[in-house]
Amino acid sequence: MQTGDAELLRAINRYRVLDAIRRFEPISRSDICERTQLGRTTVSAIIGELIESGVVSSEPHDAAHTGRGRPRDFLRMNPDLAYVVGAKLSMHQVSITVTNLRADLFASEILPVRTWRLTPDVIADLLEDGIRAAIAKAGIDENKIAGIGVGIPGFINAVTGTSHWSPILGEEIVPFAAMLQERLGIATIIENDANLVTLAERWFGEGQDVDNFVVVTVEGGIGMGLFLGGELFHGHHGIGTEFGHSKIDRHGPLCRCGQHGCIETYIADYAIYREARKLLDLPPIDHDNPALEVAVSDVAVRARAGDMRLRALYEEAGAMLGMGIANLVNIIDPGKVVVTGSGMRAADLIEPSLRKVALENSLAMLRGSCEIVIHQGTDEVWARGAAALVLQSLFRQPWSDRTGMTLPFEQDGAQDTAIRFPAALAEGDA
């Protein structure tokens, strides 16, 4: 065996041990051997190295529960080994969080700014200041920040760190990850905001136990993230899975994208409001006005109060989304579909028709085989997503170079800002 192969093998074994600890902690050494199918000697050597570098900590088994035999210790990941900055760009605000590797929140900042009016350079400057302030607020040394993950709406190429089109960064190609990384000197990854939510589900939520799953986000627009074979799918050009703009009726309403009958035009906030205006005396509100979210919440309240016309409106919106989900089920055959986002505050109004139509339009073979989970999600979900984005880089599978998340900015020479575990572990290969 050549040296390169031996090193790769060590990296693979270490990854498998770490992954078992992360997923099943607290876990005993013998359970790790069983789950990884690695020998005791190998596992012990790797664990010794992980404990020494502070990545993993060992705690004694509760004495009261110890029966006969050798006392066992249990292993856990050290969540405070490193910290992560998460940021999310929205049309009307910039949110910043500092979390540890378990996505526990240490500090947060919200900057109320109309981002869509600013140039990418000004947004990067704002983020730089906001991120420094958040790190200071958290009382954490900047050297302990493993990376920055930024969620941005639009066509975002996570691999190259560029925005190809975004309602915030504009229609030019913007190397936004590099712009931020240059300012802060911390490894930075950008990702489409729906993909961020999907990563959060993968690492901390509904996607932990299934390798093929879909997340549909219903908010101002409709987003989607897709995990295939345990990896986030980005498409050939890095801008795939635009479920919101898949067509359901070519003669349907006009979409923001300039085409007709996109699924978004039936279920997004502006679509609900457009239909409600046909029934109620409501003022026009543009789709990028923050007042829209409040106005749509009010429509839901009136539907719940018993306005049957509004109930029917929501029922129809749910049916259209159900139809779109049936198409996803038929094309992808996912193990699970998660429907989430602020639009699910009206889940009670759309869920029955959504489930009914999704079931009726799924192929007979697949009918009922795919679990549909509907939840509104939390405000911190994207902060978890940012943590997951960095975790994914830390836990990069050594045998795969197509995780879609390889760090584009690893450069030889002066500034090394790749996301990795602390030095002791990084040198463990040698």
Torsion sign over Cα 387, 389, 391, 394: negative
End-to-end CA distance of the chain: 16
91 vs 366 by CB, closer to Zn ion: 91
Select from 338, 351, 398, 347 the least CA-distant residue to 212.
Answer: 338
On whether the CB atoms of residues 169 and 121 are closer than 8 A, the answer is no
Residues 216-245 that bind Zn ion (CB under 5 A): 245
Q: What minimum distance in Å lies between the beta carbon of 267 and Zn ion?
A: 12
The widest CA-to-CA distance across the chain, in whole angstroms, is 76
Neighbours of 368 (CB within 10 A): 9
Question: 114 in helix, strand or coil?
Answer: coil
On whether the CB atoms of residues 185 and 145 are closer than 8 A, the answer is no
Q: What minimum distance in Å lies between the beta carbon of 264 and Zn ion?
A: 6
Q: What minimum distance in Å lies between the beta carbon of 154 and Zn ion?
A: 13
268 vs 387 by CB, closer to Zn ion: 268
* Contact flag: residue 424 with Zn ion (CB under 5 A): no
Taking residues 8 to 37 in sequence order and writing x for each that binds Zn ion by CB under 5 A, - otherwise, the string is ------------------------------
Q: How far apart, in whole angstroms, are the C-alpha atoms of residue 177 and residue 163?
A: 9
Q: What minimum distance in Å lies between the beta carbon of 167 and Zn ion?
A: 13
147 vs 341 by CB, closer to Zn ion: 341
Look up residue 344 and give its DSSP letter.
G
Taking residues 241 to 270 in sequence order and writing x for each that binds Zn ion by CB under 5 A, - otherwise, the string is ----x---------x-x----x--------
Q: What minimum distance in Å lies between the beta carbon of 243 and Zn ion?
A: 10
Q: What minimum distance in Å lies between the beta carbon of 327 and Zn ion?
A: 15
Tokens of 39: 């020998």
Contacts of residue 414, defined as CB under 8 A and 6 or more positions apart, other chains included, come to none
Residues 36-95 that bind Zn ion (CB under 5 A): none
189 vs 323 by CB, closer to Zn ion: 323
61 vs 256 by CB, closer to Zn ion: 256
Residue that has been written with the tokens 């900042």 in this structure: 109
Neighbours of 88 (CB within 10 A): 22
Neighbours of 43 (CB within 10 A): 21
Q: What minimum distance in Å lies between the beta carbon of 261 and Zn ion?
A: 8
> Mind giving me the DSSP string for 27-47?
EEHHHHHHHHT--HHHHHHHH
Residues 337-376 that bind Zn ion (CB under 5 A): none
Q: How far apart, in whole angstroms, are the C-alpha atoms of residue 341 and residue 222?
A: 9
22 vs 245 by CB, closer to Zn ion: 245
Q: How far apart, in whole angstroms, are the C-alpha atoms of residue 233 and residue 199?
A: 11
Q: What minimum distance in Å lies between the beta carbon of 263 and Zn ion?
A: 8
Q: What minimum distance in Å lies between the beta carbon of 246 and Zn ion?
A: 9
β partners of residue 105: 99
203 vs 243 by CB, closer to Zn ion: 243
Taking residues 92 to 131 in sequence order and writing x for each that binds Zn ion by CB under 5 A, - otherwise, the string is ----------------------------------------
102 vs 247 by CB, closer to Zn ion: 247
209 vs 286 by CB, closer to Zn ion: 286
On whether the CB atoms of residues 137 and 107 are closer than 8 A, the answer is yes
Task: Count interface residues toward Zn ion (CB under 5 A).
Answer: 4
Q: What minimum distance in Å lies between the beta carbon of 194 and Zn ion?
A: 15
68 vs 250 by CB, closer to Zn ion: 250
Rounded-to-10 torsion of CA 352, 379, 295, 305: 40
Give me the residues that bind Zn ion (CB under 5 A), please.
245, 255, 257, 262
